[in-house]
Structure 1
Amino acid sequence: MNKRTFKTLIVALSMMMLFSGCWDTKDINKQYLPVVMGVGKGKTEKYRIILQIPDASGKTQILDKESKSISKAIDLIRTDSEKSIELVHLRLLLIDREVAEQGIDNIINFAVRANDISIKGLVGVIDGDFEKTMYHQISPTPEISSYDFFSQDAGWTPNQSIVRIWEAYQNQNSYTEDMAIPMLKNGDRTLFTFKGTAVMRDDRMVGTLNQEETLLFNLFKGKYSGGTIEVAQNTSVLIQDTKIKHKTSWSENGPSILTDILLNVVITESPEGKGNAVIEKEMKEQISQQFNETIKKVQSFKSDVLGVGMIFRPQLSEGKLKEWKTKWFPKLEQKINVRVNVLNEIYFKENANDNESQGKMLKK
């Protein structure tokens, strides 16, 4: 073998090695990449699976099939589709309320076991017409996605709960915590309208929290960023910071917990002449009452959605740990005290038409 032939062979082998790693790649133009999956009850089968697939223009294509299992329904969608279906970009799993009330264990397990679904995806419950919500579209807006309504960097506020697939899997198998799932339906001028929170016990929906109660739930969990609270007499405050301390005890009657919550707030609206001390007093009484009413409501569902069991977990023996939801949580005595500290008032210009005053302010 001469040197020229040898060099040619080496180059050929090198090229083969370079291309060997991408022989099975797929053209992205021949793939459907759903971002939302809806799981509802089929008319003739157990499950109805609806996939939402956005395109570059902002429009959404809908693919829809029914089957006895989720994986089979997706396989049927693949069979009838002119492109391959890849779930790697799935960001949102929406479950019909009727299905959620029957149990979502199988759905969450499927999402966790599927190799091509990210466990960082979000979960929601559709409280309304399942088909109408999944097929609902607004004017094409490429810069807006369904995920933005749940993103803390975009449309999310503390009036909405938030749970990811991995958290749902963890909570439905937890001895000491249940999950809260955001509830929504199709909006009129927006993609979604949020209705509150679905309260789960293990894997089944057992009750609901409205938006105000959801805000309190998020406060207890430390998720308060951007939260606004309305107080009596046209007063609103913006939560800047929270400090939460729990004091637990265990008597012959069972567990008890006292929670102190300090809210540092700034005033965004208030009647003229209303002092900070009055606002602090009104807000303390109002939020304390709402918190304790919400606690009673949650306990009536027999759901530890606040995760109080996680606070007691270091004190629980293995036996008490397994009995927490069935035996000890129903006996729990829980109370919340709220303190409010007004940091300052947001400044509003009293005379917006006074150009001279505005000029002086700008110079400063």
Structure 2
Amino acid sequence: MIHRSFLTVVLVLCTLSTLLTGCWDTKDINKRLMPVVMGICKEKNQDYRIILQIPSPQKKGSQYMESSSATINNAVDNIRTKSEKSIDLLHIRLFLICEKTAKEGIGDIIDYAIQANDISIKGLLAIVKGDFDDVIHHEINANPELSSYDFFSEQAGWTPETTIVRLWEAYRNIKSNTQDMSIPILTKGTDTLYQFKGSAIMGGDKMVGEISSDEVLIYNVFQERYTGGTIEVAEDSSVRIKKATIKHALNWTESGPQIKSRIRLKVEILENKNEETEGQITKKLKEIIEKRAQKLITDLKSDKADVLAIGQLFRKRMNDEQIRDWKKIWFEDLDYEISAEITILNSIYVKSPNKIKKQDQ
């Protein structure tokens, strides 16, 4: 015989199960707008101008919504107010900041994005050089929202000659005493959506200089993000870097910090029209890499911006006061030495018309 108490428990559980089913606070996808790009630029009156790029299957392109206000949050709320659908910021993949604002400081922008509950901290950052509206509204194909992100995707258009910075990395670097960051610079493309123009040197939250595309190679090697690329050694010869690593030897003397870095490159020769020897190519490539590295560090010391995060390497050797003064004092006094070690893996793919003729004969 079934006890009455047992029946009561079963009835209660059944009642609760009906209450728990369903998602009462969900919104139909047709009632939501999901921006993938947010453009941010300060106007002359210091108001933030916000532009949201939203995929629009009906238009086979993108829809743009914008507003201006004294704060980013209020500008976004203004866009939400005039929108006929709910705006979901969780899908924003790319934040484009105009150059003028980057030079004034992006600390407020990063703080807003990190503190917002509906923005992914994995979003990417880029600085726009030139006409901000032209770059934001520029479209090449029917899916510009995908192209925007693909330029920074390691599985798509990203190359080791460009930098890549996410929101959480920018927040960490701005708050750090021993490292800065480099943010890619974009302009309007001609046959492509964007064109990379090197990277910005960020001192704290302000843009204080620029790194050329050639010097970005050194930056990515220091960041251990270099996955291979092609370098022109001379007018008629080029090599492909298959692997790049870096090792550091640190020392702290009475005069200050010292570092000796050795960049090791494993390369394949792609073109060698002048039929130079492997030794000649190795020597030229070594000179190119060391010259770029020396120039980059000299410029960074002048700008007092440690985008290579050398301070992080010395962090365990410094006291609290030295850590606080790293960018102001010790980085500028840094004694550095950089050398490159080149290994040519093979020359199977050497393109030499003269050699081909000899073989045919």
TM-score normalized with structure 1 length: 0.90
Residue in structure 1 matched with residue 271 of structure 2 by the alignment: 269
Contact preservation (8 Å) 1:256, 1:333 = yes
The one-letter code of the counterpart of 1:33 is M
Residue in structure 2 matched with residue 339 of structure 1 by the alignment: 341
Which of 212, 219, 224 does residue 222 from structure 1 map onto? 224
Residue in structure 2 matched with residue 329 of structure 1 by the alignment: 331
The one-letter code of the counterpart of 2:18 is M
Contact preservation (8 Å) 2:202, 2:208 = yes
Residue in structure 2 matched with residue 190 of structure 1 by the alignment: 192
Residue in structure 2 matched with residue 356 of structure 1 by the alignment: none
Q: For the structure 1 residues 176 and 55, does the alpha-carbon distance in structure 2 shift closer, same or farther, using more than 3 Å as the test?
A: same
Deviations 1:153-212 (A, max 9, x none): 110011101100000000000010001001102211211111110100111100001111
Q: For the structure 1 residues 288 and 348, does the alpha-carbon distance in structure 2 shift closer, same or farther, using more than 3 Å as the test?
A: closer
Residue in structure 1 matched with residue 18 of structure 2 by the alignment: 15
Q: For the structure 1 residues 9 and 263, does the alpha-carbon distance in structure 2 shift closer, same or farther, using more than 3 Å as the test?
A: closer
Deviations 1:277-300 (A, max 9, x none): 111111111211121112111111
Could you tell me how far 1:55 is from its partner in structure 2?
2.8
Deviations 1:31-56 (A, max 9, x none): 01001001002355511000000134
- Looking at structure 2, the residues matched to 214 and 118 of structure 1 have their Cα atoms a distance apart, in angstroms, of 26
Q: How does 1:174-253 map to 2 (within 5 A)?
A: 174-253=176-255
Of the structure 1 ranges 105-114 and 138-147, higher mean CA displacement relative to structure 2 is found in 138-147
Question: Are residue 146 (structure 1) and residue 154 (structure 2) matched?
Answer: no
- Looking at structure 2, the residues matched to 111 and 103 of structure 1 have their Cα atoms a distance apart, in angstroms, of 14
The one-letter code of the counterpart of 2:40 is V
- Looking at structure 1, the residues matched to 73 and 338 of structure 2 have their Cα atoms a distance apart, in angstroms, of 45
Could you tell me how far 1:265 is from its partner in structure 2?
0.5
Q: For the structure 1 residues 14 and 286, does the alpha-carbon distance in structure 2 shift closer, same or farther, using more than 3 Å as the test?
A: closer
Residue in structure 2 matched with residue 89 of structure 1 by the alignment: 91
Deviations 1:216-263 (A, max 9, x none): 211222222132111013211111112311111222221111111111
- Looking at structure 2, the residues matched to 77 and 246 of structure 1 have their Cα atoms a distance apart, in angstroms, of 50
Q: For the structure 1 residues 343 and 29, does the alpha-carbon distance in structure 2 shift closer, same or farther, using more than 3 Å as the test?
A: same
Contact preservation (8 Å) 2:239, 2:269 = yes
- The DSSP-based 3-state class of the residue aligned with 2:21 is helix
Q: For the structure 1 residues 143 and 53, does the alpha-carbon distance in structure 2 shift closer, same or farther, using more than 3 Å as the test?
A: closer
The one-letter code of the counterpart of 2:79 is I
Could you tell me how far 1:268 is from its partner in structure 2?
1.2
- Looking at structure 2, the residues matched to 123 and 263 of structure 1 have their Cα atoms a distance apart, in angstroms, of 29
- Looking at structure 2, the residues matched to 285 and 113 of structure 1 have their Cα atoms a distance apart, in angstroms, of 46
Residue in structure 1 matched with residue 81 of structure 2 by the alignment: 79
Contact preservation (8 Å) 1:198, 1:209 = yes
Q: How does 1:112-151 map to 2 (within 5 A)?
A: 112-141=114-143, 144-151=146-153
Residue in structure 2 matched with residue 46 of structure 1 by the alignment: 47
Could you tell me how far 1:345 is from its partner in structure 2?
2.1
Deviations 1:292-320 (A, max 9, x none): 11211111111001111011111111111
Could you tell me how far 1:135 is from its partner in structure 2?
1.2
Could you tell me how far 1:269 is from its partner in structure 2?
1.3
Of the structure 1 ranges 312-321 and 9-18, higher mean CA displacement relative to structure 2 is found in 9-18
Which of 319, 322, 330 does residue 321 from structure 2 map onto? 319
Contact preservation (8 Å) 1:233, 1:271 = no
Q: For the structure 1 residues 346 and 62, does the alpha-carbon distance in structure 2 shift closer, same or farther, using more than 3 Å as the test?
A: farther
- Looking at structure 1, the residues matched to 49 and 345 of structure 2 have their Cα atoms a distance apart, in angstroms, of 51
- Looking at structure 2, the residues matched to 61 and 293 of structure 1 have their Cα atoms a distance apart, in angstroms, of 43
Contact preservation (8 Å) 2:266, 2:343 = yes
Question: Are residue 35 (structure 1) and residue 11 (structure 2) matched?
Answer: no
Question: Alignment length, in residue pairs?
Answer: 347
TM-score normalized with structure 2 length: 0.90
- Looking at structure 2, the residues matched to 187 and 95 of structure 1 have their Cα atoms a distance apart, in angstroms, of 17
Contact preservation (8 Å) 2:124, 2:166 = yes
Contact preservation (8 Å) 1:224, 1:239 = no
The one-letter code of the counterpart of 1:130 is F
- The DSSP-based 3-state class of the residue aligned with 2:154 is coil
RMSD: 2.4
Could you tell me how far 1:349 is from its partner in structure 2?
8.6
Deviations 1:105-143 (A, max 9, x none): 110000000001010110111111111111111221379
Unaligned stretches of 5+ in structure 1? 352-364
Contact preservation (8 Å) 1:235, 1:271 = yes
Of the structure 1 ranges 250-259 and 140-149, higher mean CA displacement relative to structure 2 is found in 140-149
The one-letter code of the counterpart of 2:181 is M
